[in-house]
A = this chain, B = another copy of it.
Amino acid sequence: MTEAERPGQGRRVLIVDDEPDLRELLSTSLSFAGFEVAVASNGNTALAQVADFAPDVVVLDVQMPDMDGFTVTRKVRARGHTMPIVFLTARDTTDDAVAGLTVGGDDYVTKPFSLAELVARIVAVLRRSDSTRVESPSLQVGDLVLDDDAHEVTRAGKTIDLSPTEFTLLRFLMENAGRVLSKSKILDHVWEYQWDGDGAIVETYMSYLRKKIDTPFDTPLLHTKRGVGYMVKDPS
């Protein structure tokens, strides 16, 4: 397996959340992304795990019954741990509350989020926190280039404007270039978890992407495998 397919290869992540279902979802998908995973269901366990497991990054739900994310963060920092933290916040969390959280290399994601987006954020804070790990932040398929840091896509040198969803979808396809992805797999990764729509939305967005990425150029990069799914593929 290549690096792009297992973006968390060799990295340790601690998941802190009181909801069993969400913990389970994150654990499964981050494991598969190549991370070594530990979980904690409350603040005290989290503090113990930070010391024992020595994670490279923490995913922390800020709304927990016994000890909120602010308190956990303060205690973690007070003990001298400096690893980045990705906070999970409710959509209605106020801006200044979030601003107070995300100092330094930290980041946050609002619930409900898409798995592809969360993994991308985790990988991003890891890259920023570790200057020794100079890893190309851009994906490339043929003459199509996606730069994650700049959040920019170009084809044949020409900048292409994408909406947030289009960008996440394209990144997921490019991370899996040369492999067919079913509509349900795309839904599960690119759309918010527990999304209850059907695959029609994926068809619509593939149509949007094609109009921007394939139609203005000679060689199509996006391919439909009827009855199976979609794929981006290097033409050579």
Pick the residue among B20, B103, B227 that contacts A25 (CB under 8 A): B103
Q: Is the CB of B27 within 8 A of A164?
A: no
Is A1 interfacial (CB 8 A cutoff)?
Answer: yes
Interface of chain A residues 198 through 236 with chain B (CB within 8 A): 198-199, 225-229, 231, 233
Interface, chain A (partner B; CB < 8 A): 1, 6, 20-21, 24-25, 27-29, 31-32, 74, 77-78, 82, 95-96, 98-106, 108, 115, 128-129, 131, 149-151, 163-164, 178-180, 182, 184-185, 187-189, 193-199, 225-229, 231, 233
Pick the residue among B20, B179, B187 that contacts A150 (CB under 8 A): B179
Cα-based distance from A193 to B180 in the complex (angstroms): 25
A187: B residues at CB distance < 8 A: 99
Whether A32 touches B193, Cβ cut-off 8 Å, given contacts A128-B1, A163-B226, A164-B228, is: no
A227: B residues at CB distance < 8 A: 163-164
Sorted nearest first, the 3 A-B pairs with minimum C-beta distance are: A96-B196, A32-B104, A28-B104
A99: B residues at CB distance < 8 A: 184, 187-188, 193-196
A37 to chain B, nearest CB (A): 9
A28: B residues at CB distance < 8 A: 77, 82, 103-104, 106
